[in-house]
Structure 1
Amino acid sequence: MTTLIAEDLLLLVLDDDKGTVTTAYPQTALGGAVLVELALDGAVEVEEKTSVWRSAKVSPVAAHRPDDDILGAAYDVVAEKPRTAQDLVDRLGKGLKERLADRLVERGVLERQEGRVLGLFPRTRWPAVDSGHEEQVRRALTGALVQGLTPDQRTGALVALLSAIDKAHKVVDHDGLPTKEVRKRAKEISEGAWAAKAVRDAISASTAAIAMIAAGGAVAAGSS
């Protein structure tokens, strides 16, 4: 089954039984995953930063609009005007969890369940129906994070995104390896030379944006 990186990321951060998201910033992370996939497909590029104080802008590559509905819509947002990765990951992530989950429901991977919290507030859950693809993704991640194998670009990008939300160590069986070593390996992969420079630039910009937004949310929560 062919999936988007964002779909794989959503499967990894959904509790298979409860069907609820286990990360605090799914919108930002999923938006980052879409931006990274656009870069992997050669549909967008990240400009060179000329200063540590200046955020890199993301631009569309002409005549490279993806056929996929979600990626195509994201490409259109990028094409509206030059924006920073920090701006884009949040914009691209709006409503994305629901759209991705519904696609996975159509494929028989998830089940959509409607309910209410305390009998008042509507809530949608997406428990797993078929975990075969997710298990395959986890095996690839285990190879990179635990067994020390060199990841392909897609797996490396997924590791970088998971590391940005501090989930990389939670989606694999450590097989006796200490958590700090799995985290360290995830960081090394995030910064590694397994991808072309244009892709590395996009991943770096996206994960930095995710981390910045998550840090800002944590500070706001702590001061409230």
Structure 2
Amino acid sequence: MSEGGLTLAEEIVLLALDDETGRPVGRSGMAPDRALAGALLMQLALAGRVDTDRDRLILVDATPTGDAALDAALARLAAPGAPADARGAIPLLARDAPAARAAILDRLVARGILRREEGRVLWILPDRRYPKTPGRPEVTEARTRLRTLLLMEEIPAPQDALLLGLARAAGLLPLLFSEAELEAVQPWLGVVTRIESLNRSLAVAVSDVRGVGLGTAQREG
């Protein structure tokens, strides 16, 4: 978890919500689901439930964690016929990403970090939004850490390096930095994404999130 007590998956969900409207932002299509699936996979690795290398995904411990979204992902990976590598696991977990995201949003609402607002578009279509609660430090913590990491050229903690890779894959960096800032941080971003001492197997998983189904990212980090 982050210093504020949020999981990697919770931080990705928060970063993917517009500050003002509470609606999803970032890339469209499968990218957000793949990024959330990657967050869940990496969280399982950090929790000691799975391990990955370039060729394999190994189920280390199938004991539930108590986190509904995480345990649903763990059950998927423990089922007979589950993929034997991260490249196959990410699209599998992405199928359940809408349910995982809903569970995470409900949890963030219950903790008072988000508010749920129901409305209608054109008086017909239901519209559910999740505005961020003003004054809650968790709302801005992940953004602040990522900005500091790149703008101040800091060596990242393992979870922040993973969060950065996922935010990049989901197209969220242009929402966190100005165009000029993004241009300025490119050299350090390249260094951070190549740091070998992070955790080699998890770094491979980040690479797989970017490479499987996301397409080639535009130059945005």
Q: Is the 8 A contact 1:112 1:126 kept in 2?
A: yes
Aligned partner of 1:166 in structure 2 is 171
Q: Secondary structure at the match of 2:33?
A: helix
Aligned partner of 1:21 in structure 2 is 24
Unaligned runs of 5+ in 1: 50-56, 217-224
Higher relative contact order (CA 8 A, sep 6+): 2
Per the normalisation by structure 2, the TM-score is 0.81
Q: Is residue 123 of structure 1 aligned with residue 127 of structure 2?
A: yes
- Aligned counterparts of 2:54 and 2:142: Cα–Cα separation in 1: 32
Aligned partner of 1:150 in structure 2 is 155
1:104-144 CA-to-partner distances (Å, cap 9, x unmatched) read 00000110011111111112100011441132222211221
Aligned partner of 1:79 in structure 2 is 78
Q: Is the 8 A contact 1:19 1:125 kept in 2?
A: yes
Q: Is residue 97 of structure 1 aligned with residue 101 of structure 2?
A: yes
Amino acid at match of 2:173: A
Percent of matched pairs sharing the same residue:
27
Unaligned runs of 5+ in 2: 217-221
Q: 1:59: how far off?
A: 3.4
- Aligned counterparts of 1:188 and 1:99: Cα–Cα separation in 2: 35
Q: 1:22: how far off?
A: 0.6
CA RMSD of aligned residues (A): 2.5
Per the normalisation by structure 1, the TM-score is 0.80
Amino acid at match of 1:117: V
Q: Is residue 215 of structure 1 aligned with residue 215 of structure 2?
A: yes
Q: Is the 8 A contact 1:6 1:34 kept in 2?
A: yes
Aligned partner of 1:43 in structure 2 is 49
1:164-205 CA-to-partner distances (Å, cap 9, x unmatched) read 12322432478xx54223345334323322412222222222
Aligned partner of 1:3 in structure 2 is 6
Alignment: residue pair count? 205
